[in-house]
Amino acid sequence: MAKSGALGYPRIGAGREWKKALEAYWAGKLEEPEFHARLREIRLDRLRKQRRKGIDFIAVNDFSYYDHVLDTAAMFGLVPSRFPYEGGVVPLSAYYGMARGTEDAAACEMTKWFNTNYHYIVPELDGASPALTENKPLLAYREAKESLGIEGRPVLLGPLTFLKLSKGYAPEELDRWLDRLVPLYVQVLRELEAEGVEWVQIDEPIVVAALDEADTERLKSIYATFAASAPKLNVMLQTYFESVERYADIVALPVQGIGLDFVHGRSGNLAAMRAHGFPADKTLGAGVIDGRGIWKTPLRDRLALLDTLADFAPHERLVVQTSCSLLHVPISVEGETRLPAELRDALAFADEKLDELARITKAFSGRSPQAEAGLSDYDRASSALALSGARRRTDVRRAVAAIRETEARRSRPFPERYAAQQARWRLPLLPTTTIGSFPQSADVRQARSRFRSGAWSRERYERFIREQIERWVKLQEDIGLDVLVHGEFERTDMVEFFGEKLEGFAFTQNGWVQSYGSRCVKPPIIYGDVAFRQAMTVEETTYAQSLTARPVKGMLTGPITILNWSFVRDDLERREVAYQLAYALRQEVEALERAGIGMIQVDEPAIREGLPLKAKDRSAYADWAVEAFRIVTCTVKDETQIHTHMCYCEFHHMIDAIEAMDADVISIETSRSHGELIQSFETNTYAKGIGLGVYDIHSPRVPAVREMTDLIDRALRALDPKLFWINPDCGLKTRGLEETMESLRHMIEAARIARAKYASATAWGV
């Protein structure tokens, strides 16, 4: 009979208990012993739930105190020298210092986990001496077995993926680092084998991206070493997010199981299996339940898929699995009482996916008319949404088709627009601004809660928001910023805010997922055709502009970011949804311009994370992502300045697309990478306005003026000072008042120093 397996489960707790415990500990409100005890109970509760739902292979060591990649670095003692650490088990002070920074040391870089909305902490290897500090998979296995009697499947991140996601070494040093790390992995595996562990899950998602001959040989060497060192331990080499590269080589590795994604990598993996077969001596981990999406699984379809896979791996050598960890979805649909019935009946979060997993495994293992009829009944529950009028808006479809008949392009090229914008704004050399949001204090959050609960009238709430805008416009003027923002105090989240004002969106009550650390978000659900209702940002922006003679930027979230940070309907291509979003946002841009707002920022921090993992698919994505952005912005006047913001990305991968977006000013998060993005500009020219973030807003640390001036100096060795802007990395919503004010004052001082230095080196003005 086939067995079921879950590759991981959310960490945050049904009521976000995990987040609350972390933040209480960081605030000094929770002592370390109690902190450990709370997290242990959350960890065990996750395991109990999976056992109750009948999952055979339950992942252990998928839980984390912050991030699983950071955990792997800590397990091997890879702590950067700027954090106090003398060897042995990494203390929480160093662990959280790497994640969040300290007063004296900047945090490690944080970036996206493949093409998901989850962020991981990038390990730094420069100067490090790895050693096994503690066998985390073994400790997790023991805890599950001794506390609950669960024979867990320990999970650890594979060595090739870990190194490919790390920094601080030259490409030619990769093999030397493998020589240092593989023996430590061997020690972990031998201890697991000695403990009596039956199966271990080693995640190597890097094999779904580009894999060359050298990497293939590395994998062969790594896993041959593992097989020889722990011969009694069964290894499930787990892949996810796409089909594997070099399939024939991967399935020939000396492991006992291969886990493949048959949701996002279905066509590629099936084609490879048909071409090369599947080894008769291996177990197939068949990822047929989507670990990233929120829609109910079409179980009849997946049952037919499993029947096909059974031709390659018989029932006793087939594990029915989630396609990846359930880390990426909310915990349960239960309690979502405010959603339309037709939508709620079409949803499956983590707990419901466990039920699906158990249901389809049972049907596959013991085929019966009753079991198959049950699957058909399950599938019919979501059919009402498919027939909903929300998904059949002919007015939206026709309007989008009409605007795409004409190329989306600004009326004049950037140099001519730049001259018109300089004539209008007369900005100084190296103008300063922020990315949009200012601290949302307890008072702001409380006011929003009171308004939503009905305790405050709309008039009282709007008066409060205006008071916040007035306060922060004055503070920005006092600090000396050149281009202001209204602060976004009326916005809970940069995607949710717009989704609530557009047709085609729905919002959960408790649909939280982890974004990074304790930061949890509730992604909107795009379930129908997207349509503009009425102006969404004009009132607050024009009010802010009425308070100052300095320019105030209108602030919008771009179509690709809304798309990538939402759960998106699965009956329409993502490209088509992006065009609908773009058309709706264009109407907002035009409304802002009509109201006199002459700088409009359309943020696209998530454009890079939507880039497909396969190189062959990237050009098509870039084409429609750029087109969607230009649909939003192409109709404004020449003197209207379009800004955009992006989070850190491998700039050279996106330079052509970013140029094609044709924004007048782009700001890019870079400080957390310690300025490494600037290297891209030493080989790639960028001839439009650009701001590289000069300090990290994800950390409470206030950086020194010198740190900022060093970043500015380095950037201006490759970029034109005439086109350079100075700004923080990102929005300041999550930061406190005092640290925000002090950091911005340091930024303004850095700008003053830079202006004095570069004023004589450039001709400024028009």
DSSP result, 645-701: EE----HHHHHHHHHHH--SEEEE--GGGTTTTHHHHTTS---SEEEE--S-TTSSP
- Annotated binding-site residue? 609: yes
With CA atoms as reference, report the closest residue to 650 among 658, 638, 642: 658
At which residue do the structure tokens 């809970």 appear? 492
Q: From the candidates 486, 643, 698, 746, which is the catalytic residue?
A: 698
Residue 43 known to bind ligand:
no
- Are the CB atoms for 284 and 309 separated by under 8 Å? yes
Annotated binding residue at 331?
A: no
Could you confirm whether 698 is annotated as catalytic?
yes
Neighbour tally for 564: CB within 10 Å? 26
The gap from C-alpha 417 to its chain's centroid, in whole angstroms, comes to 34
Degrees (nearest 5) of the Cα angle 629, 630, 634?
140
Structure tokens at 311: 């031709």
CA nearest neighbour of 285 among 197, 199, 191, 363: 199
What CA–CA distance (Å, rounded) separates 355 from 53? 6
CB 718 within 8 A of CB 682: yes
3-state secondary structure of 607: coil
565 labelled ligand-binding:
yes
Annotated binding residue 119: no
**Could you say which DSSP state residue 295 is in?**
B
Instruction: Give the closest residue to 469 by CA, choosing from 499, 447, 449.
Output: 447
Token pair belonging to 418: 């730049």
Q: Is 112 annotated as a binding residue?
A: yes
Closest CA to 703 of 755, 646, 745: 745
With CA atoms as reference, report the closest residue to 647 among 683, 690, 686, 692: 692
Is 296 marked as a binding-site residue? no
Single-letter amino acid code for the residue at 79 = V
316 has binding-site annotation:
no
Is 19 known as a binding-site position? yes
In angstroms, the CA 680 to CA 575 distance is 28
Amino acid at residue number 154: P
Contacts 24+ apart (CB under 8 A), 134-137: 134/75, 134/89, 135/75, 135/187, 135/188, 135/191, 135/192, 136/61, 136/71, 136/75, 137/60, 137/61, 137/188, 137/192, 137/200
Q: Which helix (H) or strand (E) holds 289?
A: strand 283-289
What is the bridge-based pairing of β-strands 153-157 and 665-668? unpaired
Q: Mapping DSSP to helix (H, G, I), strand (E, B) and coil, where does residue 5 land?
A: strand
Residue 645 labelled as part of a binding site: yes
User: Pick from 177, 175, 83, 173: which is nearest to 121 by CA?
Assistant: 83
519 annotated as belonging to a binding site for a ligand: yes
Contact 610, 625 (CB under 8 A): yes
Q: Does 564 show up as a binding residue in the annotation?
A: no
324 marked ligand binding residue: no
Question: Is 488 marked within a binding site?
Answer: yes
> Do the annotations mark residue 684 as ligand-binding?
no
**Polymer length of the chain:** 766
The CA-to-CA distance between both ends of the chain, in Å, stands at 76
Residues 618 and 759: their CA atoms lie apart, in Å, by 41
- Give the containing element (helix H, strand E) for 288: strand 283-289
Query: Do the annotations mark residue 752 as ligand-binding?
Result: no
According to the annotation, is 639 in a ligand binding site?
Answer: no
Residue list, annotated binding site: 16-19, 112, 117, 435-437, 488, 519-520, 565, 603, 609, 645, 647, 669, 730
Residue list, annotated binding site for Zn(2+): 645, 647, 669, 730
Catalytic residues: 698
Residue list, annotated binding site for L-methionine: 435-437, 488, 603
Residue list, annotated binding site for L-homocysteine: 435-437, 488, 603
Residue list, annotated binding site for 5-methyltetrahydropteroyltri-L-glutamate: 16-19, 112, 117, 519-520, 565, 609
